[in-house]
Amino acid sequence: MLQVYLPIAEISVNLLVMLGLGAAVGFLSGMFGVGGGFLLTPLLMFSGIPPAIAVTTCANQIVASSVSGALVQWRRDNIDLKMGAVLIIGGLAGAVVGVWLVGALREAGQADLMISLSYVAFLGLIGGLMLAESIRAIQRARAGVPARPRKPGQHNWIHGLPFKMRFPRSRLYISAIPPLLIGALVGFLASFLGVGGGFVMVPALIYLLRMPTNIVIGTSLFQIIFITAIVTLLHATFNHTLDLVLAVLLIAGGVVGGHFGAQAGQKLKGEQLRLMLALIVLAVAIRILFDLVLPPDDLYSLTPLGTKL
């Protein structure tokens, strides 16, 4: 049956299933410019992997899958390196906070529940917002109504913030504060939920900072590589929740999937990509919610005293 034993998770899994999960999530990473952990972490949890281990292992897998997609975007000159550097600085601060919080919740025995509840809340909110905006964009396109461009000199509240920087590749002159905060949020999500944070970063960079969509996808993949690498190192060092055997299986599939996903993403329009991503995000949130509210098959379980959940 091609079963493989995972020493940290302490369970056996099917080799082909794990390779397939890695390839599927890598494909999504390259297509949408997201890390794919928002899908992979719940899938691993559904497969019996403890949430804390799934979070760390997914962060490690995202590093590899994002590299493949980012290389494709690099060749197309779709990465804003200066914006990526600012996002990474903010992400480091958020990652440290998230790693500490996971460790504290594991000590209290509440990590599994809090991670699941957080997934339902974040994915439900982000997916709902993206779905509504995508439907409006598609309706405008079918009706032949062009998107309203910003008039020269028209700014939103972000342009009134201090510490402005120029980002020539994105043709922006804005405060460094919003990118730092966005990066910090993504770093926290990466360390607490095992996600690349692309489902937050992509719409934030497009709608808040007004970056071009093609530059957003490449820049998102670029910063995801560094943030998830930092998260993996911190979790492995302080929480000891990295299963290397599982990580290798997911990476092997993710590298291949990421390359094909980046190619496929070029064939779809921006609003179509956002609609597909929104539907996937909502589907995952609904599945996690059902697992939380439906009665389990076994109402009782025995756990040896002193064992961490």
Please, which residues have CB within 8 angstroms of residue 7's CB and are 6 or more apart in sequence? 243, 245
Would you place residue 160 in the very low, low, confident or very high pLDDT band (cuts 50, 70, 90)? low
Residue with tokens 């009782």: 300
CA 178 to each of CA 104, 208, 209, 211: distance values in angstroms, whole numbers, following the listed order: 29, 9, 8, 13
**Pairwise pLDDT comparison (6 vs 270), residue with the higher score:** 6
Per-residue buried b or exposed e for 178-210, using 16+ beta carbons within 10 Å of the residue's own CB: bbbbbbbbbbbbbbbbbbbbbbbbbbbbbebbb
What would the pLDDT profile of 18-70 be if each residue is shown by its tens digit?
A: 888 878 777 776 666 555 667 777 778 777 788 778 888 877 777 766 776 77
Highest mean pLDDT among 64-73, 139-148, 265-274: 64-73
pTM over 0.75: no
What would the pLDDT profile of 173-211 be if each residue is shown by its tens digit?
A: 888 888 889 889 888 888 887 776 666 777 788 877 778
What would the pLDDT profile of 225-263 be if each residue is shown by its tens digit?
A: 888 888 888 888 888 888 888 888 887 777 777 667 767
- In the chain, how many H helices and how many E strands? 10, 4
Strand (E) or helix (H) holding 283? helix 270-293
What mean pLDDT do residues 144-164 have?
Answer: 58
Q: What's the pLDDT at 89?
A: 92
**Pairwise pLDDT comparison (65 vs 88), residue with the higher score:** 88
Residue 97 and residue 62: Cα distance in Å, rounded? 20
Domain boundaries along the sequence of the chain: 13-142+160-293
Instruction: Provide the token pair at 211.
Output: 């970056």
Please, which residues have CB within 8 angstroms of residue 303's CB and are 6 or more apart in sequence? 309
Residue 81 and residue 85: Cα distance in Å, rounded? 6
Which 3 state secondary structure label does DSSP give 110?
coil
Pairing of strands 172-175, 11-14: unpaired
- Least confident range from 40-49, 107-116, 121-130, 143-152: namely 143-152
Question: Residue type for 295, please?
Answer: P
Instruction: Provide the token pair at 225.
Output: 């590589």
Of 209, 214, 270, 266, nearest to 87 by C-alpha is 209
